[in-house]
Structure 1
Amino acid sequence: MEFVICGTTIRVNVATRAALEARVAERLAQRKGFALATLNLDHLVKLRSSGPFRRAYAAQDFVVADGNPIVWMSRLAGRPVELIPGSDAILPLARIAARQGVSVALVGSTDAALARAKSYLEREVRDLEVSLCIAPPMGFDVQSDAADAIFERLGASGAGLCFIALGAPKQEAFAAAGRQKAPAVGFASIGAGLDFFAGTQQRAPGWARRFALEWAWRMMTSPKRLAPRYARCVAILPGQMLRAALLRLRAERI
């Protein structure tokens, strides 16, 4: 499934969880880095208005579908992909790292949340080592000397996998920069996933996720912050669904 936004092609190039785990396992085994982004409708909105975000997305090695609308569009286009929320990818990827003896770094959120997330991960994943936790300050710039210092610490730590919880578009930009400055590290952008583990944010209950209502649950918990965001997402959804349908029609004519 692909989206062409202001001349930049954004492609969901990893369709299933099994494929994602296989690709990450291969990169970690070879001690080669990667950048993983989790595409959702909010990202499509941001990509329309931000050239730097489009460039950061274009630099990602792996892109998965994080959001039911992306999955629905893929099915409509005849190019189905699985739903792989960033939060759900953390434990499987951490288990792969542990099996291969690769240590993990956590970047983002707050010091307290990272400490709790570290404890949770090391408790849940046998033999996992979280070797580095860094909570950048407010206003952190991924193109700054402070970011370069983090990349240096990542390299010195020996971590082969870094979970980034900085929020979009900062985490994707951080991952894109990391591919150049810490090329042996795999960067996975996972949004609020670490805060869920730490208990500093509450994820939508299982029933809401099963019925594709996580967005509604989240909006009710933080309406002032999220209502405008979701309104922008709803505004672009019809056009995106139409483009997906046209992709299928063109493919059937070939």
Structure 2
Amino acid sequence: MERNRVYILGCGIDIVDSRLALKKAEELILRGIPSQVITLNAEIAYAASLDDRLRQVINEADLVTPDGIGIVWAARHKGYDIKERVTGIDMVYNLCQLAANKGYRVFLLGASPGVAEKAACELKKMYPYLIICGTRDGYFREEEKEEVIKSIREARPHILLVALGAPKQEFFISRHKEELGVPLCLGVGGSFDVIAGVKKRAPGFMIRLNLEWLYRLLSEPSRFKRQMALPKFVLKVLREK
């Protein structure tokens, strides 16, 4: 698959908008080879600049979308025309709509007990023809991992949505995608919580103004320490150029 990428702090990001990202995602599904899609934000890009293993996982992924205004800003700062963010939750909705239209099977893995099931119910309401072939929460022990992988493999999904939090979900997919045998594996962070109604997404006007990060910080003050990675990311990008 031909790729047009920009490298930010050593991480390759595909120059895609939502439409092109979905097109490339379907190409991966149709290819049928286990693949990994990452929606990359500034926080994880900064972490990857300090962690060779994480950076390798990102650069070996089959599709990396610009999730977060920080990534969009950094790409534009380097002279690349990235038109919009392509976030994890938007990819979930777009992939589920595609799956409902084309008959692709979807498996939801992650979040707290009961949340994946609730998210599956909500997605079925939105897309009545969606085939969800399985759900499993993310609170499994290391010794249960093989059983979890086996259950996913036996369900034979075309799309696996993994909500284990970044970068844990990225490492999980990278290490096990061949065993899982799923054509498209995507880490989706806290998307199940939002879809299930456990947490609220930012109002539409804040999303349009690229202030979703601020809403999340105000809603969850405990994120403040994590958000301190953002100014460090900006400074590192400026020094990189």
Contact 1:29 1:100 in 2 (8 A): no
Q: How many residues align?
A: 235
What SS does the aligned partner of 2:201 have? coil
What is aligned with 2:164?
Answer: 166
What is aligned with 2:78?
Answer: 77
Give per-residue Cα distances to partners, 1:121-170, cap 9 Å, x unaligned.
111113111111011326x5xxx443332221111001110111111111
- 1:31 counterpart letter in structure 2: G
How many Å apart are 1:235 and its aligned residue? 2.3
What SS does the aligned partner of 1:104 have? strand
- 1:99 counterpart letter in structure 2: N
What is aligned with 1:119?
Answer: 121
What SS does the aligned partner of 1:111 have? coil
What is aligned with 1:233?
Answer: 230
Cα distance change, pair 117–99 in 1 and its aligned pair in 2 (3 A)? same
Mapping for residues 40-119 of structure 1, pairs under 5 Å: 40-81=41-82, 82-119=84-121
Match of 2:144 among 138, 143, 146: 146
How many Å apart are 1:14 and its aligned residue? 4.5
How many Å apart are 1:90 and its aligned residue? 0.7
TM-score by length of 1: 0.85
Contact 1:33 1:160 in 2 (8 A): no
What is aligned with 2:3?
Answer: none
What is aligned with 1:250?
Answer: none
What SS does the aligned partner of 1:80 have? coil
For the residues of structure 2 that align with 1:99 and 1:32, how far apart are their CA atoms? 21
Correspondence 1:128 to 2:130: yes
For the residues of structure 2 that align with 1:128 and 1:46, how far apart are their CA atoms? 35
Structure 1: gaps spanning 5 or more residues:
247-254
What is aligned with 2:7?
Answer: 2
TM-score by length of 2: 0.90
- 2:176 counterpart letter in structure 1: G
- 2:136 counterpart letter in structure 1: I
Contact 2:111 2:139 in 1 (8 A): no
Identity of aligned residues (%): 22
Cα distance change, pair 218–131 in 1 and its aligned pair in 2 (3 A)? same
What SS does the aligned partner of 1:191 have? coil
What SS does the aligned partner of 1:19 have? helix
What SS does the aligned partner of 1:178 have? helix
For the residues of structure 2 that align with 1:115 and 1:28, how far apart are their CA atoms? 24
Cα distance change, pair 49–78 in 1 and its aligned pair in 2 (3 A)? closer
Contact 2:150 2:180 in 1 (8 A): yes
What is aligned with 1:25?
Answer: 26
Give per-residue Cα distances to partners, 1:24-83, cap 9 Å, x unaligned.
212223433321111111102321333332232233111000000110111121112231
For the residues of structure 1 that align with 2:238 and 2:99, how far apart are their CA atoms? 37
Higher Rg: 1
What SS does the aligned partner of 1:64 have? strand
- 2:214 counterpart letter in structure 1: A
What is aligned with 1:189?
Answer: 187
For the residues of structure 2 that align with 1:133 and 1:103, how far apart are their CA atoms? 12
Give the aligned CA root-mean-square deviation in angstroms: 1.8
Cα distance change, pair 54–239 in 1 and its aligned pair in 2 (3 A)? closer
Contact 1:160 1:184 in 2 (8 A): yes
Cα distance change, pair 184–236 in 1 and its aligned pair in 2 (3 A)? closer
Match of 2:154 among 136, 153, 156: 156
What is aligned with 1:252?
Answer: none
